Amino acid sequence: MMDIKSGPAEVRCVGISEAADEIRHAERILVVGCSGGGKSTLAQQIARRFALTYISNDRDVLWLPGWVQREGSEQRRIIEELIRQERWIMDGTSTSTFDIRVPRSDIVIWVRMPRAVNVWGILSRWLKYIGRTRPEMAPGCPERMDWEFFRFVWTWEREFAPRVLAGLEQHAGGKPVLVLKSRRRMRELLDLLEARA
């Protein structure tokens, strides 16, 4: 896994304790990462804890019934409308809209789990919801598993993580970025948020 490095376009990585303080006061939070890593679950838990509106990129922006993807211009229009809200947490990693989502966020959480965790996440999710639509997915999009999606997850760190890093370097502008690389670290964050009520 490549690490976020400081440089001319610096990404301000923060630890869990500082991130917990930032999250407690944040009005708008962006959660990104590979499918199966737990970003939707984490976002929903934080949303409930701090009464933030939960926005799922998959459910609210990307997909129409029958796994039909919205046109890019329509996706962008919807996102522009959603992020005007004062208080929200959004999960979704599409880097094509980082230019509007990242600057509007108070903190970015990058759920950057190892490949094995992501693969286990998508397989267990598929088994749990097979034939049904999970809550954070658009209506009419029952859970599915195919080779293309599996390959997307398998190659995500190599193919897509560099895009996330470049997008953060370009658009974060000194905003705090928390990188979570294990379930244990995710639990630590949630425990800390609960303890600092």
pLDDT digits (tens, 9 = 90+) for 128-156: 999 999 999 999 999 999 999 999 999 99
Q: Judge: domain 14-195, CATH 3.40.50.300.
A: yes
Residue 44, CA distances (Å) to 48, 137, 173 in order: 6, 13, 26
DSSP bridge partners of 179: 110
The pLDDT of residue 172 is 95
> How many Å is the Cα radius of gyration of the chain?
16
- The predicted model gives 31-50 an average pLDDT of 97
Could you give the CA distance from residue 16 to residue 185 in angstroms, rounded to a whole number? 8
Q: Structure pTM?
A: 0.93
pLDDT above 90: residue 109: yes
Tell me which residue has tokens 């749990």.
128
- Helix then strand count (H, E) for the chain reads 9, 8
3-state DSSP of 49-111: HHCCEEEEHHHHHHEECCCEECCHHHHHHHHHHHCCCCCEEEECCCHHHHHHHHHHCCEEEEE
pLDDT above 90: residue 2: no
The pLDDT of residue 196 is 62
Q: Where are the domains of the chain?
A: 14-195
What token pair was written down for 194?
Answer: 């609960």
pLDDT digits (tens, 9 = 90+) for 43-92: 999 999 999 999 999 999 999 999 999 999 999 999 999 999 999 999 99
Interhelix angle 147-154/115-129, nearest 10 degrees: 150
